[in-house]
Structure 1
Amino acid sequence: MSTPAKILTVGSAAGHIKDLFAKIKAIDAKHGKFDFALCLGDFFGPPKDEVEEYGEDDELTQLLDGRLEAPLECFIMQGEHPLPTPVIEKFAKTGSALALNVNLLHKSGLINTAKGLRIACLGGIYESNIYAAAEEAHGFTSPYFTAQTVEKLLSNTLTTSKPQDQNYTSLAAIKATAAASHHVDILVSNVWPADITHFSDAPLPAPELASIGVEPVAEVVRQTKPRYHFAAGGGQPPKFWEREPFVWEDENGRVTRFVSLGAFGAEATAGKKQRWFYAFSITPDTPTTAPPPRPANATQNPFTEVVQRPQKRQFDDSEPNFRWSEGQPQPGKRSRTDGDQSKPRPGYKCKICDSPEHFISDCPDRVKPREGYICNICKEPGHFVRDCPTKHQVGDTGGRKPREGYVCRACGSELHYIQDCPLAKQTTHANGGRNRGPPKEIGPDECWFCLSNPNLAKHLIVSIGTECYVTLPKGQIIPTHSGANHPNAPAVPGGGHVLIVPITHYPTYSTIPLDIKGPIVEETEKYKSALRAMYAKHDAVPVAFEVGRLSAKGGHAHVQVVPVPKKLENRVEEAFLSEGRAQGIEWETDPDEALRQCSGGRGSYFRVDLPDGRKMVHIMRDGVPFSVQFGRQVLVSLLGMPDRFDWKACVQSEEEDKEDAQALKAAFAPFDPSL
């Protein structure tokens, strides 16, 4: 007989990783032991802007470095945001294992647990145009799932072997390795399925939730018929809602339960915090498993019988109960339809004083918190959140004042939330682009590339001209000391991977004013030509790229130039096209016109100069993420150096850097236009 698994499911951590782990540990100690935890939604929260760094004290960094440990095995997923770049980089190196006991589920993932449970994951959010038009499944740098993402998930559920074990080139090949059943025990998604509220009498916490579901997720439910389906994206902020179970009559009475959880890391709002965790036990199906009993509160199946959805009642804000096993009723639920609404039903006890005579909302002891209670807003004891004296304080723009430690991601202020930020509320152009306005200037002591920055790594500089300078980057792609004998490593002294940086501070080349742009661009092209000549002497050709991305903090324009062995020259373009297809990146048919449209700071772009002098340009779209490491990712793949993807892992000692800079400076001297 199969052993039941005990599982804890939690809502979006939204970056509060340490606090969530502490809560999981406390729940496990009191109610466990759990086999594992499913962490829904955005575990890391919104990714930082590319000019921001995840510092040593950041919880994400602590987790990836092994300094922040999970109390039990946790499976996390992608929610409504792109995953942070350090997470994607770690995933590329190690696969799903981000840290001890922390595993990242694929966007269209399927895992089989040690006890035989099949868990499917559909990460990301839905946008109809992107879903229909995309030619590839989007990766973690995009917040969206596409039709290909769903197809890949359904294909995974139909196979007995791991996807990488087979080369599925046709439907016949898939069927040849089909599993005995494509059903899953648990499905996790960020998005609700369409029609999930049909036939349900469970009160919705907000009326708009009746229409937030989408058809692609509903199709996944029809195909996989999960016994439990958990979602995280039930409103803003996410709301808790548990639907009555429903039955698949044609599947031996298989029962599905749907639960949407509130966010653990949600910002404080008026009223009671939404329930963010759910514990349950589930026994794996086996060929000898008897049909489950039909739950007493089962409804019609919303995915097999479609009718007009009845009007829902308003939110029932009685206290939620902790569920431990399948098919168990929830005692003590307060009903709005009972004749006498003033007293609890038999068996109910107030959570504060244990009295059966009144609801928790009417408890006289509510006026004073229990010992050890800390207000989540001001972090002080002695009062509840609802009575916090700072609850209604306003920030500098009129909205709610942020909690201590909050920083607006748009402008860096600590005095307002991002939704109240003037910079984040810039008007929209007729063409749909965002008018970001002049990027905020970064001080000399903050910009990595300003020569006036006293912290600039000046020992890496190779040449200083009138308008630009050339420098080796920290952690260049080309190995020069360790790994220098790689078969695809060009023989350019000092490696040869350099940055061409305008001395004057502008976010991108397209934002440089026309009256001074000419000399800067001219000298940049001179440096490109000089590098081409130097590379040719060492049987290499140049690949140059610029991430011309506008951001709230500005940034500093620069072009990266990387030497590639001449034997790989004809494979460069296809490398960018292939990786672009995998990430949903589209290239403009007229690169020069695309760059002209971005001039004057009217748009963000990614530009590549191929070895033969032709250009490739991708225009970045608002709301569609683009990885600033895309150029490096393509080139390390082309060169067969996947271990060089993370520049931080390639950083050398200052002495080794100085040695490389001197070697490159000597080799570049005969070609240097500044001499």
Structure 2
Amino acid sequence: MVGKSPITNNLCASLKPRYHFSTSNNTFFEREPFFHAPTEAAPDGYPITRFISLASYNNPKKQKWIYAFSIDPTAAPAVVIPPGTTASPLSLSNKKRPTAPSQEFSRFSTDGAYAHRGNKRRRAAPPTPAECFFCLSSPNLATHLITSIGTDAYLTTAKGPLSTSDTYPSLGFPSHILIIPLTHSPTLASIADAEARKNTYDEMQRYRQALHDMLTKLASCKLGAVTWEVSRAGGVHTHWQFLPVPVDSIRRGLVEAAFKVEAENERYPNFETKDVGDGTEESSDFFRALIWAPPSTISGGEADGDDGSAAAKNTSLLLPLDASFRFDLQFGRRVLAKLLGLGGRMHWQDCGQSEEDETADAEAFKKAFKEFDFALEG
């Protein structure tokens, strides 16, 4: 057991700190690092805790009483269980034996679906729709966030949204939206049936266009949007994230620059300006950012071009992903949080809401989107 105090143990289990320090009289002790199982609220990683108990200063046994370490507070949790770690012993305080998490909880694994037990490595069973947080058949689905269900895809509001109802007063609701395929698949390209793949991609694009149409009307062409995706063959259920951004930031090139500069800072490969459609022609995993700006003015349903107004803008940025570097799954959110001055909301875990507030935000979005929701037709 990590500690004798149930209160301390429960606090550590809740906070999931990188390091947990304690003291003892004459003994230094460091146990194996332990991982915390993913949850519905945090399904994309395994927070790791290192427990260290330091001996007292100037102890007679000359045991270690000081410890030096470095820590990067912005580093993302591990997306697979690192070798040499154990399941968290803290859950034992509730007299429940922790179940070693299988790869179904890691939507974007980096080296395949492996789980570790002792010194053995085994292949984890593929997750089923019943174990997926995005499948409509799953008991884990947060149904109160769902705002529209089409034939091949559906919309939900984001849990722990980056934007709030105050971010864009012309909207009046958090407009951080997920566009999710109904098909349980790690990437669009891995949907086996070609017709189903095409229909899914087309409907996701149709939802994206409907969101653009909503912004054009409600924000009077003052808001554009970024839609981003992490496409990994080792994932579980692919999806797109959608967020409005000020149109001026797009037209001045600030959004593109923000993604490229952050990638350079992280020593990622360079972004390419490339439209890959449903991704079937790509030989590697990728991160994609689709950047859209509406026409500056609307006349008769189209942009005016003779008076110097700007036409609609569409840009697709692609970042190839491979095993040569570790990609931060929150990269897209982090870039936009910095760009929008929402650094305090960079981590979605810091943006939790009550279910009542989440439901209210989803209903506000549904009301605004109703006019553009093609799923309601017929």
TM interval, short-chain normalised:
0.5 to 0.7
| 1:674 aligned partner | 375
| 1:77 aligned partner | 70
Aligned counterparts of 1:465 and 1:405: Cα–Cα separation in 2: 36
Aligned counterparts of 1:464 and 1:626: Cα–Cα separation in 2: 31
Count of residue correspondences: 299
Paired residues of 1:490 and 1:563 also in contact (CA < 8 A): no
Structure 2-normalised TM-score?
Answer: 0.67
| 2:286 aligned partner | 605
Aligned counterparts of 1:521 and 1:657: Cα–Cα separation in 2: 27
Equivalent residues in 2 for 1:443-458 (5 A)? 443-458=128-143
- 2:267 counterpart SS class: coil
Corresponding position: 1:631 with 2:332: yes
Equivalent residues in 2 for 1:252-267 (5 A)? none
Q: Which has the higher contact order (CA 8 A, sep 6+)?
A: 2
TM-superposed deviation, 1:650: 0.7
CA-to-partner distance for each residue in 1:21-72, whole Å, 9 max, x for gaps? Answer: 56xx44xx3279xxxx9x9xxx958999995544xxx763xx8xxxx78657
| 2:209 aligned partner | 529
How high is the sequence identity, in percent, across the aligned residues? 29
- 1:526 counterpart SS class: helix
Paired residues of 1:442 and 1:555 also in contact (CA < 8 A): yes
CA-to-partner distance for each residue in 1:63-95, whole Å, 9 max, x for gaps? Answer: 8xxxx78657743237xxxxxxxxx5xx24xxx
| 1:576 aligned partner | 259
Equivalent residues in 2 for 1:253-652 (5 A)? 411=113, 417=119, 420-421=121-122, 441-480=126-165, 484=166, 489=168, 491-513=170-192, 514-537=194-217, 538=219, 539-551=222-234, 554-569=235-250, 570=252, 571-589=254-272, 591-592=274-275, 596=279, 599=282, 602-611=283-292, 612-652=313-353
CA 1:622–1:565: 2 relative to 1, 3 Å? same
Tell me which moved more, 650-659 or 562-571: 562-571
CA-to-partner distance for each residue in 1:226-279, whole Å, 9 max, x for gaps? Answer: xxxxxxxxxxx9xxxxxxxxxxxxxxxxxxxxxxxxxxx699xxxxxxxxxxxx
TM-superposed deviation, 1:451: 0.7
- 1:511 counterpart SS class: coil
- 1:470 counterpart SS class: strand
Aligned counterparts of 2:183 and 2:270: Cα–Cα separation in 1: 29
Aligned counterparts of 2:233 and 2:248: Cα–Cα separation in 1: 35
Aligned counterparts of 2:195 and 2:328: Cα–Cα separation in 1: 31
- 1:613 counterpart SS class: strand
Kindly provide the amino acid, as one letter, of the partner of residue 255 in structure 2.
V
Structure whose alpha-carbon radius of gyration is higher: 1
Aligned counterparts of 2:268 and 2:355: Cα–Cα separation in 1: 37
TM-superposed deviation, 1:441: 3.2
- 1:441 counterpart SS class: coil
Paired residues of 1:408 and 1:417 also in contact (CA < 8 A): no
CA 1:48–1:620: 2 relative to 1, 3 Å? farther
CA-to-partner distance for each residue in 1:542-580, whole Å, 9 max, x for gaps? Answer: 1100011232xx411110010112232231111101111
Paired residues of 2:273 and 2:315 also in contact (CA < 8 A): no
Equivalent residues in 2 for 1:190-201 (5 A)? none
Which of 5, 26, 49 is the equivalent residue of 1:30? 26
TM-superposed deviation, 1:470: 0.5
Paired residues of 2:113 and 2:126 also in contact (CA < 8 A): no
TM-superposed deviation, 1:414: 6.2
Alignment gaps of 5+ in structure 1: 1-14, 79-87, 93-139, 144-236, 238-264, 268-403, 424-439
Paired residues of 1:16 and 1:44 also in contact (CA < 8 A): no
CA 1:616–1:52: 2 relative to 1, 3 Å? closer
Aligned counterparts of 1:408 and 1:521: Cα–Cα separation in 2: 29
TM-superposed deviation, 1:463: 0.8
Kindly provide the amino acid, as one letter, of the partner of residue 229 in structure 2.
E
CA-to-partner distance for each residue in 1:342-379, whole Å, 9 max, x for gaps? Answer: xxxxxxxxxxxxxxxxxxxxxxxxxxxxxxxxxxxxxx
CA 1:632–1:16: 2 relative to 1, 3 Å? closer
Aligned counterparts of 1:141 and 1:455: Cα–Cα separation in 2: 24
| 1:383 aligned partner | none
Paired residues of 2:37 and 2:101 also in contact (CA < 8 A): no
Aligned counterparts of 1:406 and 1:674: Cα–Cα separation in 2: 40
TM-superposed deviation, 1:516: 1.4
Kindly provide the amino acid, as one letter, of the partner of residue 637 in structure 1.
K
Which of 652, 657, 660 is the equivalent residue of 2:358? 657
Kindly provide the amino acid, as one letter, of the partner of residue 30 in structure 1.
N
Paired residues of 1:597 and 1:603 also in contact (CA < 8 A): no
Paired residues of 1:405 and 1:414 also in contact (CA < 8 A): no
Aligned counterparts of 1:622 and 1:648: Cα–Cα separation in 2: 27
Aligned counterparts of 2:290 and 2:134: Cα–Cα separation in 1: 22
TM-superposed deviation, 1:533: 1.1
Kindly provide the amino acid, as one letter, of the partner of residue 635 in structure 1.
L
CA 1:416–1:461: 2 relative to 1, 3 Å? same
Paired residues of 2:188 and 2:279 also in contact (CA < 8 A): no
Kindly provide the amino acid, as one letter, of the partner of residue 287 in structure 2.
F
Aligned counterparts of 1:579 and 1:628: Cα–Cα separation in 2: 13
Kindly provide the amino acid, as one letter, of the partner of residue 557 in structure 1.
T
Aligned counterparts of 2:316 and 2:69: Cα–Cα separation in 1: 39
Aligned counterparts of 2:291 and 2:140: Cα–Cα separation in 1: 33
TM-superposed deviation, 1:416: 7.0
Aligned counterparts of 2:319 and 2:36: Cα–Cα separation in 1: 22
